[in-house]
Structure 1
Amino acid sequence: MKGTKRSNATDWVDHVRRIRDRQDQQAFRELFEHFAPRVKGFVMRGGTDAAFAEECAQDVMATLWRKAHLFDPSRASVSTWVFTIARNRKIDLIRKQRRPEPEDLTWGPEAEPDQADVLGLQQETEELGRAIAALPEKQRNLIEKAYFGDLSHSEIAEQTGLPLGTIKSRIRLALDRLRHAMK
């Protein structure tokens, strides 16, 4: 079968079934030869280097071998399933690369901030408190809900019954006033 072109997806479904049911190495080899270079290209188009893409493709194909029993042809084609695995695996590997290693983390207590920084922060906090208190009540209430209550604009709209546009406008005006007050 090597080098033959697949014209319909049911051939690949049969390959996955053979892997699932009989751990058919020939079926896996054919799937691997077809999909591994395509997965590698897909991953590289996302801006990664060849080594990363190769690692990802290998991992995707190993996942296909181990999880063939999870494939459902009524939900997706084999290629959709393979590229979904590839996309998810690429995201996982990128996250893993960006996660700091334990030796990169600082251990022990954080360095104490110097007294000038603490004093400056206290003064800014007090200044911000006065600036918020000086806002018109309607703007102040929305700023408090958004920033201290940690509510989204939509959640504030639900809670207050105000239109979303009104909420956004009032918050924008309040932030503008706070920016000017903090100069």
Structure 2
Amino acid sequence: MQEDEPTGGTVNAVAQLAEERKKQVRDEWSARLTSLAETRDKAVFSQLFVYFAPRVKAYIVRLGMPLATAEEVTQEAMLSVWRKAHMFNSTKASASTWIFTLARNLCIDRLRREKAVEYELPEEEPDPDQRDMAEHSVIEERMNLAIAQLPENQAQVLHLSYYEGKSHSEIAEQLGIPLGSVKSRLRLAFSKLKAHWGEDA
């Protein structure tokens, strides 16, 4: 009986460390979102975009949206993050909870517009702010243009990270390059995206 106790204690300690790490990550992203609201720093937005966009897309697909629609709603959701960051309150929700709520509300709006009654999402009030679809189109076009102007190796890792939702380690394995090279290429891509988005700032 006593022999089992150290093992159980180790498992509990590992679980506690994992939970603490999760909380640390949540707090870090909440701090970034708060920073975005205060500074409107496009580099911070790029970090949020690359991290959350593939997760939001996967979440929307799990809600039953077709892939093409999920990609459109993901773009809308991330645009809403940029436009509504000032509404985020870290004392009420984490960044991930707030962003996924934005995405779910957009899904509900989309389904109501399309009258797709076969989907049964939780009934909630639609996002009250008017979404400027023309602005969304311009933002998406600029993002695509910025990515197209990146060197091929940087655009490749950005595509795998965002559009395919792969982790850094998965990208490294797929491309046969060191993990550090993946992170370096993403950092360089962020820098160029920041410069591109800052043209009109």
For normalisation by structure 1, the TM-score amounts to: 0.49
> Which of the pair has the greater relative contact order for Cα pairs under 8 Å at 6+ separation?
2
